[in-house]
């Protein structure tokens, strides 16, 4: 337990507050979206902290950032641990940041405990987990696990038509001292620490969640096409109103998909053209995010979207398509059991929990044994500037992480 005992909760909290100043919003959250100037500053700060410890810092071709603590056998595949430093536009101080900072803290605790591991351990910050500016997210971990062609990722553009390829040089230049690395290399195991982003741990009064898997998700788009017309002279019978018909479709989708407390249906993004008060909208693009723990149910919900939109349409045309699809996944028992044993050995209350939110661990589970550690967040609030966690819970999660890493990196 020496590694866990060396975790410095004060240092971990201080680093959270320092990182949260980068992209800080006026309401106590962060807006640090992928590939922006603030994210570049966050990268530089991480590299500075890593450099102070003498760790090797590297970036791969999609700008995933790695901090390596050498093992006694450098030739062995490393154990990876980390998460993301990009945020939603109205994000919180802990989503993603916690997994990266807990990873750095664990490396430092192993140093201070004088612990050597056979395998190297690398902390990682994956590019663009959130997918707010460049959608869909999980770009860094998908590229690393070869789950999405790099060219497809580089070609994604934001609303202004700026591409990932256009913005990547800024991220790569943020850590000039970092070694360059190929995208993807053998990994022995991956562990991600994260706030739960839900209320279960807080309600149960437990500090640790032993994550067993992640529910499936479908990320879709619907484009409704009508016709621009004068608001004052065009009678209802002559209109092809894309905004009205999009609203009808969204209402029908909500009523048909949000069937139980297990279903998750979200329309969070909408673009309207020409988006002015006295012109009937000619085009509306809206996002759909559907989640469900049962993969077959999720596939059925996705398949039903087009028919529901058709049933709600009147005079407009529409098209719907999927931009990202993942079934529910279950983590490898070897990692789940190691996390659980570490929490138990540390005498920390814990429970097994299935993740409602998506994480980079989903992608890594395709290439290596993977697991996650959750800590509570206040009221389960996340993707909201009010997101909050306590220094004690963050430190407890880092203790379980440090202990888990020692066991997984034993070789
Ligand atoms: O959408 C998700 O679940 C992740 O938090 N970006
Ligand atoms: Mn996250
Ligand atoms: Mn998030």
DSSP string, 288-314: EEEEESSHHHHHHHHHHHHHHHHHH-S
pLDDT tens for the chain, 411 residues: list them: 899 999 999 999 999 999 999 999 999 999 999 999 999 999 999 999 999 999 999 999 999 999 999 999 999 999 999 999 999 999 999 999 999 999 999 999 999 999 999 999 999 999 999 999 999 999 999 999 999 999 999 999 999 999 999 999 999 999 999 999 999 999 999 999 999 999 999 999 999 999 999 999 999 999 999 999 999 999 999 999 999 999 999 999 999 998 899 999 999 999 999 999 999 999 999 999 999 999 999 999 999 999 999 999 999 999 999 999 999 999 999 999 999 999 999 999 999 999 999 999 999 999 999 999 999 999 999 999 999 999 999 999 999 999 999 999 997
CA triple 184-210-12, angle to 5 deg: 75
CA triple 298-301-302, angle to 5 deg: 90
- Look at residue 39 in the predicted model and tell me its pLDDT: 98
Closest-CA residue, ligand 1 atom 6, reads 130
pLDDT one-digit tens code per residue, 7-62:
999 999 999 999 999 999 999 999 999 999 999 999 999 999 999 999 999 999 99
CA 139 to ligand 3 centroid distance, Å: 13
Closest-CA residue, ligand 1 atom 2, reads 358
- Ligand nearest to the backbone CA of 125: 2
User: Which residue is associated with the tokens 């062609």?
Assistant: 149
Pick from 43, 67, 61, 75: nearest CA to 181:
61
**41: exposed, middle or buried (C-beta count within 10 Å: 0-12, 13-18, 19+)?**
middle
Q: Provide the 10 A C-beta neighbour count for residue 149.
A: 11
Q: What is the DSSP letter of 53?
A: T
Q: Which of 32, 90, 131, 136 has the most ligand 1 atoms within 8 A of CB, as the residue to mutate?
A: 131
- Look at residue 259 in the predicted model and tell me its pLDDT: 85
Residues with CB under 6 Å of ligand 1 are 129-130, 137, 357-358
Nearest ligand 1 atom to the CA of 291 is 3
* 137/359 Cα distance (integer angstroms): 10
- Look at residue 245 in the predicted model and tell me its pLDDT: 98
Write out the two tokens for 254: 């909500």
- Look at residue 222 in the predicted model and tell me its pLDDT: 98
Query: What phi and psi, each to the nearest 5 degrees, are found at residue 303?
Result: -65, -25
H helix runs in 319-389, sequence order: 333-345, 360-364
Q: Is 199 helix (H, G, I), strand (E, B) or coil?
A: coil
Cβ atoms of residues 342 and 397 within 8 Å: no
- Look at residue 411 in the predicted model and tell me its pLDDT: 75
pLDDT one-digit tens code per residue, 77-127:
999 999 999 999 999 999 999 999 999 999 999 999 999 999 999 999 999
Q: Is 258 helix (H, G, I), strand (E, B) or coil?
A: coil
């Amino acid at each position: 337990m020496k590694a866990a005992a060396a975790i410095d909760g004060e240092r971990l909290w201080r680093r959270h507050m320092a990182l949260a100043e980068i992209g800080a919003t006026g309401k106590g959250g962060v807006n640090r979206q992928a590939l922006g100037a603030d994210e570049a500053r966050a990268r530089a700060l991480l590299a500075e902290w890593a450099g102070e410890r003498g760790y090797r810092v590297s970036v791969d071709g999609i700008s995933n950032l790695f901090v390596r603590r050498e093992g006694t056998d450098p030739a062995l595949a490393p154990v990876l641990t980390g998460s993301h430093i990009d945020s939603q536009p109205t994000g919180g101080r802990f989503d993603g940041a916690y997994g990266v900072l807990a990873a750095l803290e664990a490396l430092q605790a192993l140093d201070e405990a004088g612990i050597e591991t056979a395998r190297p351990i690398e902390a990682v910050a994956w590019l663009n987990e959130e997918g707010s500016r460049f959608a869909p997210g999980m770009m860094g971990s998908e590229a690393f696990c070869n789950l999405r062609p790099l060219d497809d990722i580089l070609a994604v553009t934001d609303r202004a038509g700026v591409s990932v390829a256009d913005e990547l040089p800024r991220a790569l230049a943020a850590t000039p001292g970092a070694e360059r690395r190929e995208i993807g290399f053998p990994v022995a195991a991956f562990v991600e620490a994260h706030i739960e982003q839900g209320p279960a741990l807080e309600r149960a009064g437990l500090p640790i969640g032993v994550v067993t898997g992640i529910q499936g998700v479908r990320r879709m788009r619907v484009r409704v096409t009508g016709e621009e017309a004068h608001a004052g002279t065009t009678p209802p019978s002559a209109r092809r109103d894309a905004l009205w018909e999009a609203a009808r479709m969204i209402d029908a989708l909500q009523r048909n998909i949000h069937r139980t407390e297990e279903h998750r249906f979200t329309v969070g993004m909408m673009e309207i053209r020409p988006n002015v008060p006295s012109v009937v909208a000619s085009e509306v693009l809206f996002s759909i995010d559907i989640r469900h723990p049962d993969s077959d149910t999720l596939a059925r919900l996705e398949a039903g979207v087009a028919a529901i939109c058709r049933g709600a349409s009147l005079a407009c045309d529409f098209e719907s398509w999927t931009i990202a699809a993942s079934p529910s996944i279950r983590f490898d028992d070897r990692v789940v059991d190691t996390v659980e044993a570490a929490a138990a050995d540390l005498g920390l209350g814990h429970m097994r929990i299935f993740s409602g939110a998506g994480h980079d661990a989903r992608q890594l589970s395709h290439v290596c044994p993977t697991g996650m550690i959750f800590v509570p967040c206040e009221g389960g609030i996340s993707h909201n500037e009010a997101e909050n966690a306590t220094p004690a819970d963050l430190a407890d999660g880092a203790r379980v992480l440090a202990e888990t890493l020692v066991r997984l990196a034993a070789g």
